[in-house]
């Protein structure tokens, strides 16, 4: 990014110009999501839908080892009238959708509990690695509300409609191993191996041609919302975007010259 916004409850670690770690930074309340956290997500991720600059990948995780995020801060919501609740929820939606719409890949490294909105934000990422002790749930139905940061849609796309209905309608928690079995989590790892593995994969992505990476992400994400014939046509449009790039020429030259390519994102 060209300029870093002022953040309240997110901690940003710039590993290098291409890779960034973003942490929910309220460990004293298990990284519960208050209004300011959602504003931070919108302020940080919103511009990345259009201008990622040199950035090529993001790892999203939680501070501490107890929680990725325990979900919405219900203490903050205590006593809110209906209008205030609606206004706050609009901010929550904006934050979640900003993560979902980020142009560069976002990897969730779920280091503990991911409940409610925390689970939904993990699902907004492109894929998920989880520590063995991590737990997930969409318990909103037990509080008289429902998932409202994409969860009814992203969970169903990850695990299938019937499994997602069971989880959302009961609010029952599930383990990282169950989430992996159902297709929601890519890998389950010992806690100490979680961030090294997430960074290993992020760095592999960063070494690849960034325009190609973004076009693949776009083709898959939007294509899955289309019928197959329309999705194939959209894939070709995304492919066309890579043909005239310097990176395409560099990739072919590097292959023929038996060296690693030096992609520049143009």
Q: Which residues are catalytic?
A: 120, 140
For residues 60 and 20, what is the distance between their CA atoms, to the nearest angstrom?
9
Question: Count of CB atoms within 10 A of residue 229's CB?
Answer: 8
Q: Which helix (H) or strand (E) covers residue 91, if one does?
A: helix 82-100
Nearest CA-CA partner of 198 in 104, 61, 62, 44: 61
Long-range contact pairs involving 248-257 (C-beta distance under 8 Å, separation at least 24): 248/209, 248/212, 250/209, 251/209
The three-point CA angle 131-60-1 to 5° equals 160
For residues 11 and 151, what is the distance between their CA atoms, to the nearest angstrom?
24
């Amino acid at each position: 990014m060209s300029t870093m916004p002022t953040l309240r409850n997110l901690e940003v670690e710039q590993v290098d110009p291409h890779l960034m770690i973003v942490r929910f930074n309220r460990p004293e309340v298990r990284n519960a999501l208050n209004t300011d956290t959602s504003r931070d997500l919108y302020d940080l991720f919103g511009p990345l839908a259009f201008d990622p600059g040199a950035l090529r990948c993001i790892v999203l995780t939680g501070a501490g080892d107890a929680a990725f995020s325990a979900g919405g801060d219900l203490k903050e919501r205590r006593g809110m009238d209906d209008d205030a609740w609606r206004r706050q929820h609009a901010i929550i939606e904006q934050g979640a959708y900003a993560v979902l719409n980020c142009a560069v890949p976002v990897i969730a490294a779920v280091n503990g509990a991911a409940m409610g909105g925390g689970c939904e934000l993990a699902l907004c990422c492109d894929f998920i690695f989880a520590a063995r002790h991590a737990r997930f749930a969409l318990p909103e139905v037990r509080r008289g509300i429902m998932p409202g940061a994409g969860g009814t849609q992203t969970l169903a796309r990850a695990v299938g409609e019937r499994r997602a209905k069971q989880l959302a309608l009961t609010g029952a928690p599930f383990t990282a191993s169950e989430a992996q079995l159902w297709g929601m989590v890519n890998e389950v790892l010992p806690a100490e191996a979680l961030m090294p593995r997430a960074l290993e994969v992020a760095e592999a992505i960063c070494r690849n041609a960034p325009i190609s990476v973004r076009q693949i992400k776009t083709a898959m994400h939007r294509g899955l919302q289309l019928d197959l014939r329309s999705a194939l046509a959209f894939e070709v449009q995304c492919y066309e975007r890579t043909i005239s790039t310097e990176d395409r020429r560099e990739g072919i030259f590097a292959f023929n010259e038996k060296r690693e390519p030096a992609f520049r994102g143009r």
